[in-house]
Amino acid sequence: MRKVGSINYAEEIAYPGDSATLFAVVAQTAWSFFLDSCYTPLQQQREGCPLTISPASRYDIIVTSPQTTLVTRHGQTTVTDIATGEVRTSRSNPFSLVAQQLQQLAKPKVDELPFYGGAVGYFGYDLARYLERLPSVARDDAILPEMAIGIYPAALLVDHLTQRAFVVGSDAAARQQLLARLQQAVPHYPDFSLLSPAVAEISQADYLAAVTKIKSYIYAGDCYQVNYAQRFSAAVRGDDWWLYRYLRQINPAPYSAYLRLPQGALLSASPEQFLSLHRGRVVTRPIKGTAPRSADSETDQQLAAQLCQSVKDRAENVMIVDLLRNDLGRSCHTGSVTLEQLCELQSFAQVHHLVSTISAEIAADLSALDLLQNAFPGGSITGAPKIRAMEIIEQLEPTRRSAYCGSIAYIGVNGSMESNIAIRTLLREGDIVRYWVGGGIVADSEPLAEYAESLHKGAALQQALRHFLVS
């Protein structure tokens, strides 16, 4: 990489085009994370219904070699200082522990870019147990931790809109170390293989029965909506970086990510933004309402039109909008929470979605981690009211969700944050790959239609896995 200039707290390098070519150098290294916008050129859009391109997701971020790691499992967070090897454990609130570690990084004096180093990683769905009293019914068979966050003094930031790239951070030595690391040769990656097709861990009959049970709770007045999911799993071998590279080709999504951990990996092709915070402005874009895409342009447009006209899908979206407005109200200035878009059609490689946009101004005395905690987990993947929906999820889903439906995020030392909802996400644990698909169940949900919708959402993940199936 040729250095082409510098600004305060950033070294500009030549624009790499595809950031994956740079991340490949460190993709085998634990605690190497790639927040991948999959920013799609206009010429790659479909005819008729183009792929959605979000300016908010124009940045890629690559980090490796954290100075501190925080890993939460079974009520305890292990904080490791990488340089000294010092390890301590705590049962304190994990969000607060991340905030404490962020304070150890020097804050840049400029704010021209969205990220200058900070916390990067994921907050798993089951961190909700640190925030709310929930029953313990579903089986916890996860190997990946409930939270895995690295504190990074330097990062590579790629801006695809302006076609500029920077190694950022207030520590010049850390910036140079990262730049040198990314200039090394790409290591050999063992071939990836799927040893058996990915199969659902519950039967279709059990899925339909769960949807019917949720509808009975709704009719009884317990709740308005519950997001129910089923899990798929498959046996694999080899390096899943190959799998992620193929997934991002067939299903580019604006909040994608690849996270390599000591315990496994996360491969996310998420289309959904959870919370964004920049210069005090908060944005959330919940997704509710899904239709498949078609290779035939006319059929594709008909499917999109049917989704836009669906009373059921719009009602589902409006419920979650109300929930998120309330969640933002816990962290934002009174009167600042604004609905900017309701049920806007957005089209991705495999599906159409209805997406709403809500904005607000964060309270002056609160931080990004306060905002995240006060809205966690995202309402679009729980239901309404949130606590009762999570209780029903725990009762009806046979296994815990792990990282699924949590949030992959960065929280910058400059106070910025971008986070996704970790849907359309594969979890690699040992020789097993797992993923979940589901949807919001409401009073007029048809069980068979909900089952079919869940399969549409998982189609890209199935296609990516089948590409590597051993014949």
Residue given tokens 């082409």 in the structure block: 4
Q: Given the residues 11, 146, 272, 316, select the one marked as catalytic.
A: 272
- Going by C-alpha positions, the residue among 146, 132, 139, 122 that lies closest to residue 74 is 146
Query: How far apart (Å, rounded) are the C-alpha atoms in residues 57 and 68?
Result: 26
Q: Given the residues 288, 361, 386, 394, select the one marked as catalytic.
A: 288
Q: Can you give the C-alpha Rg of the chain in angstroms? A: 21
Contact 170, 71 (CB under 8 A): no
Residue 213 annotated in active site: no
Task: Give the sign of the dihedral formed by CA 61, CA 65, CA 66, CA 69.
Answer: positive
At 441, list the tokens: 């169940």
Query: How far apart (Å, rounded) are the C-alpha atoms in residues 439 and 207?
Result: 12
Residue 288 annotated in active site: yes
Contact 380, 321 (CB under 8 A): no
Query: How far apart (Å, rounded) are the C-alpha atoms in residues 76 and 139?
Result: 19
Contact 415, 367 (CB under 8 A): yes
- Going by C-alpha positions, the residue among 20, 397, 51, 6 that lies closest to residue 252 is 51
Query: How far apart (Å, rounded) are the C-alpha atoms in residues 461 and 250?
Result: 9
Contact 424, 459 (CB under 8 A): no
At 321, list the tokens: 């909008």
Catalytically active residues, by annotation: 272, 288
